[in-house]
Amino acid sequence: MECNVTLKDLAGMIDNTNLKVDVQREDLEKLCRESIKYGFKSVAVNHSSIKYCRQLLAGTGVGIVTGVSYPLGTNTLEEKLFETKHTIEIGATEIDYVINISELRAKNYDYMKKEMEEILKVCRQNNVLCKVILETYYLTDDEIIAMCKIASEVKPDFIKTSTGQIQGGGAKVEHVRLIKEALGDSGVQVKAAGGIKTLEDALNMIEAGATRLGTSSGTKIMEEYMERFS
């Protein structure tokens, strides 16, 4: 396997993830300790874990990602805005919100644009990154392209493939390529998430155009890299 990514660069693309419903403090401590050790971009945790992770990560430069309307995306816009504001207040540095797939399926593009604009506005006001989760498992190529067209106008920081909560419905290389192509030179980046368990998975997503990876296997990927290339 060829690798054109340095260990440091790879680590800086990873959102080290633990979104388990039964996560314990020792799990969060391990997540944060490993994220500091390898220099991961951030940890991705549920709302109730944000404050504790903020304490553990203070002064380290490792960010905190959390989901909004996660994982279904069916909350109203007002609820999503409340979640966004609240989670930023308690320490989130990046927001990954799930789109309303029902509205997209109904071709209510005005709603999809308004949802994106309003959530992005809150993020921008607080110097927080905004990622838009499509959940590509449910979408046609045309629907993915339609969302990328909206994103190219609104300019969130990332389009993200998946929540990672659907069995077999994680990131697909072909979807990363489609999103990357549809975004063109808009400046919006691509995050691949769900099912990225090995170094090969990670490198394939990067080759396809992803600049951020959501994975619960961050440490394993780092260890595999060092074993092969260091």
DSSP letters of 44-109?
Answer: EE-GGGHHHHHHHHTTS--EEEEEESTTT--S-HHHHHHHHHHHHHTT-SEEEEEP-HHHHHTT-H
Task: Determine the pLDDT at residue 1.
Answer: 66
Catalytic residue among 15, 157, 191, 201: 191
| Residues 151, 156: Cα–Cα separation, whole Å | 6
Active site residue 141: no
Catalytic residue among 96, 172, 180, 201: 96
| Residues 123, 94: Cα–Cα separation, whole Å | 8
Task: Determine the pLDDT at residue 4.
Answer: 86
Beta bridge partners of 191: 160, 212
Sign (positive or negative) of CA dihedral 43, 145, 115, 188: positive
Active site residue 160: yes
Query: Hey, what are 17's tokens?
Result: 């993830």
| Residues 193, 14: Cα–Cα separation, whole Å | 10
Low-confidence ranges of the chain (pLDDT < 50): none
Beta bridge partners of 67: 96
Task: Determine the pLDDT at residue 3.
Answer: 81
Active site residue 22: no
Catalytic residue among 41, 80, 131, 160: 160
